[in-house]
């Protein structure tokens, strides 16, 4: 308890606490209620808004984290389905080198079985640059097509088709036609294969 300032006659002057204790019980109760009311007003005016702001910010951060987790859970399956559908996406500098590379791959496969096919490579359709697949692939997805024709026996034709289907650079075999030649052992084979590319933009 703090002490009051001594008076000129040596007696201590009563301080605030002494004055409060000297009050009647009713006035002490009124004074305590007034102090409690002041404390409530200060809390409501200054402390509570700050606490509400902190709680609101905490809730906002929690919602942001939950949205990020939800995006991760939904994006991973989408990427997996895209990778399964498209296969490896080659990134040549332009569509022409992509078609040339595909023709070279087809020629190498056929040469293993001493087959010299007639190959016609061309570019196909393009997906819009703002399509989901183009966005996820990092560029405008473009299709290249190679049509090959050759003559071979049944066993060789099966081997070539099997290797074409297993080649990672080839997305799919979109068309296959087999015609028997003069009732003989050889077949005339026509195959159309497709691949996806993402041409690089010119610097």
Q: What is the mean pLDDT of the segment spanning 108-121?
A: 92
Would you say residue 26 has pLDDT above 80?
no
Convert the pLDDT of each residue in 148-193 to its tens digit: 999 999 899 999 999 999 998 888 898 999 888 887 788 999 999 9
d(CA 65, CA 60): 9
Q: What is the pLDDT of residues 49-60, one digit of tens each?
A: 776 667 777 777
Residue 95 CA from chain centroid, whole number? 27
Q: Tell me the per-residue pLDDT of 34-47, one tens digit each, with 9 for 90 and over.
A: 777 787 777 777 76
- Tell me, which fold does domain 95-197 have in CATH? Alpha-Beta Plaits (3.30.70)
């Amino acid at each position: 308890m703090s002490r009051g300032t001594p008076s000129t006659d040596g007696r201590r002057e009563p301080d605030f606490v002494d004055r409060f204790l000297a009050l009647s019980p009713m006035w002490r109760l009124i004074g305590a209620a007034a102090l409690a009311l002041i404390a409530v007003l200060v809390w409501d005016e200054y402390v509570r808004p700050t606490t509400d702001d902190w709680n609101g910010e905490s809730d906002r951060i929690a919602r942001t984290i939950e949205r990020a987790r939800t995006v991760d859970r939904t994006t991973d399956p989408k990427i997996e389905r895209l990778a399964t559908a498209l296969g490896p996406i080659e990134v040549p500098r332009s569509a022409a080198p992509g078609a040339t590379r595909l023709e070279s791959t087809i020629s190498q496969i056929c040469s293993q079985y001493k087959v010299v096919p007639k190959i016609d490579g061309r570019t196909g359709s393009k997906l819009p640059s703002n399509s989901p697949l183009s966005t996820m692939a990092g560029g405008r997805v473009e299709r290249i097509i190679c049509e090959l024709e050759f003559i071979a026996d049944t066993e060789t034709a099966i081997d070539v088709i099997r290797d074409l289907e297993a080649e990672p650079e080839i997305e799919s075999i979109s068309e296959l036609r087999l015609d028997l030649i003069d009732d003989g052992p050889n077949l005339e084979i026509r195959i159309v294969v497709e691949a996806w590319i993402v041409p690089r933009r010119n610097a």
